[in-house]
Amino acid sequence: GQQVMQIPQYQHVQEGEDFTTYCNSSTTLSNIQWYKQRPGGHPVFLIQLVKSGEVKKQKRLTFQFGEAKKNSSLHITATQTTDVGTYFCAGPGEYGNKLVFGAGTILRVKS
Amino acid sequence: DAGITQSPRHKVTETGTPVTLRCHQTENHRYMYWYRQDPGHGLRLIHYSYGVKDTDKGEVSDGYSVSRSKTEDFLLTLESATSSQTSVYFCAIRQSTGEKLFFGSGTQLSVL
């Protein structure tokens, strides 16, 4: 079945440093979504990318969708303590009704 | 929060007992999902529903059953709980007009 792999599993950065998490799918995706989960909270939708090579920005967050639509990345510039949490990528399953999640990247920020 | 309520929020039970988790939504969405979250595995789909009495299996459905007799309620049942089912369970809904999911606050289940 379809697999969505995410790396790294865990990253601990100093406040102000940049952070990047990478997502790779075993199949071509029609779109990819990113979610953030704060410690003790539930996943919250951040963004959806649809087009090959698409780049979207949300303040200090930059999201990219690969040209082949099989990989994606989330880059955070100058991390802040409010960025702490787990970041998940997710892609549509085989029949579109399901969403398959990566294992997530846990981000910790030292102030 | 898209009007999603999960109950209970926390439950401790013993191996072999039946457990039912409830997901209630107030906005009449067609699609509802049950995921479990475990360290190192992210969110894995257990079952989902695409309408009243219409359900399908996800990637980790063994040991779980679901029912949806009303649009607003999606129940997840562990017929005979095992320690491997200790997890955080999230319900999610998807609006018909989009593809993103809205998650409930989760249920922490511990099976001793």
B108: tokens are 């922490």
The answer to whether the CB atoms of B42 and A99 lie below 8 A apart is no
As a whole number of angstroms, the distance between CA B88 and CA B74 comes to 16
What mean pLDDT is reported for chain B? 95
A49 touches chain B (CB under 8 A): no
pLDDT band, very low/low/confident/very high, at A63 (cuts 50, 70, 90) = very high
Listed range (A78-92, B58-72, B96-110) with the worst mean pLDDT: B96-110
What mean pLDDT is reported for chain A? 95
The answer to whether the CB atoms of B102 and A48 lie below 8 A apart is no
pLDDT band, very low/low/confident/very high, at A109 (cuts 50, 70, 90) = very high
pLDDT of residue A2: 76
From the list B91, B89, B70, B74, the residue with the least C-alpha distance to B2 is B91
CA distances for A5 relative to A38, A91, A100, angstroms? 20, 11, 10
Listed range (A75-84, B29-38, B64-73, B93-102) with the worst mean pLDDT: B93-102
Q: Determine contact, residues B72/B55, Cβ cutoff 8 Å.
A: no
pLDDT of residue B95: 83
pLDDT band, very low/low/confident/very high, at B99 (cuts 50, 70, 90) = confident
pLDDT of residue A111: 92
Question: Hey, which residues 61-90 in chain A have their CB within 8 Å of chain B?
Answer: 88, 90
Q: Which amino acid is at B83?
A: S
The answer to whether the CB atoms of A42 and B31 lie below 8 A apart is no
Residue A95 has pLDDT above 90, yes or no: no
Residue B98 has pLDDT above 80, yes or no: no
Q: Which residues of A touch B46 (CB under 8 A)?
A: none
Q: Which amino acid is at B42?
A: G
The answer to whether the CB atoms of A97 and B56 lie below 8 A apart is yes
Q: Determine contact, residues A47/A88, Cβ cutoff 8 Å.
A: no
Residue A104 has pLDDT above 90, yes or no: yes
Bin A46: left if φ > 0, else alpha if -120 < ψ < 50, else beta.
alpha
Q: Tell me the average pLDDT across B57-79.
A: 96
pLDDT band, very low/low/confident/very high, at B31 (cuts 50, 70, 90) = very high
As a whole number of angstroms, the distance between CA B89 and CA B9 comes to 9
Q: Which residues of B touch A98 (CB under 8 A)?
A: 33, 45, 48, 58
Give chain B's end-to-end CA distance (angstroms, integer).
Answer: 31
| Length of chain A in terms of residues written | 111
